[in-house]
Chains A and B, each alone.
Chain A
């Protein structure tokens, strides 16, 4: 079946540092999404990518849709304490509405 490999599993960084995480797949995806989940809440959409090679920013967040369509990365610049949470990548294959999620990257930021 389809699987998304997300890395790293967790990160402990100092406030102000940049962060990078990525997802890879054995299958081609037509869409990549990045979500953030905070404790006790549902995932919140951060960035959506629809074309191979696309680079999209949302404030301090930047995400790219890999050229091979089998990977994506998310960068966070100048991290702040409220960036703490679990970040999930999600991919959609074909025209179906269902998303396949990665296992998440848990981000901890030390003030």
Chain B
């Protein structure tokens, strides 16, 4: 199994630009999570999906952030417009069930907004 695949690994963009992060969960997993990691705040849950449906998006910082999961094998996290304070490492994780908390993480996307 290839594990959770995220792209790109690194993204540098100018303030105001739209950024799209992509995630392919492990095949067969039906829960998907987006996390943000910073030095100051650690790992924070942004949103999670179960069976492609958003269950809890209370961690999404503001309306500039949106996430979609059009099918079981793909999800996107979009920031529009991006700001320097969005700079962080964004992780996608998946798990095999609603109550199965053994989430497996991708390698992350390091986003830098200048």
Q: In the complex, how many residues of chain B place their beta carbon closer than 8 angstroms to a beta carbon of chain A? A: 26
Q: Which of B14-22, B69-77, B79-87, B100-108 contacts A (4 or more CB under 8 A)?
A: B100-108
How near does chain B come to A45, taking the closest CB pair, in angstroms? 6
Q: Which residues of B contact A102 (CB under 8 A)?
A: 42
How far does the alpha carbon of A104 sit from the alpha carbon of B41 in the complex, in Å?
Answer: 11
- Given A40-B107, A97-B95, A98-B56, decide whether A45 and B102 contact each other with a Cβ distance below 8 A: yes
How far does the alpha carbon of A31 sit from the alpha carbon of B48 in the complex, in Å?
Answer: 18
At the interface, yes or no: B45 with Cβ under 8 Å from chain A? yes
Interface residues of A in 67-111 (CB under 8 A from B): 88, 90, 92, 95-104
Chain A residues with CB under 8 Å of chain B are 31, 33, 35, 40-45, 48, 88, 90, 92, 95-104
Chain B residues with CB under 8 Å of chain A are 4, 31, 33, 35, 42-45, 48, 50, 55-56, 91, 93, 95, 98-108
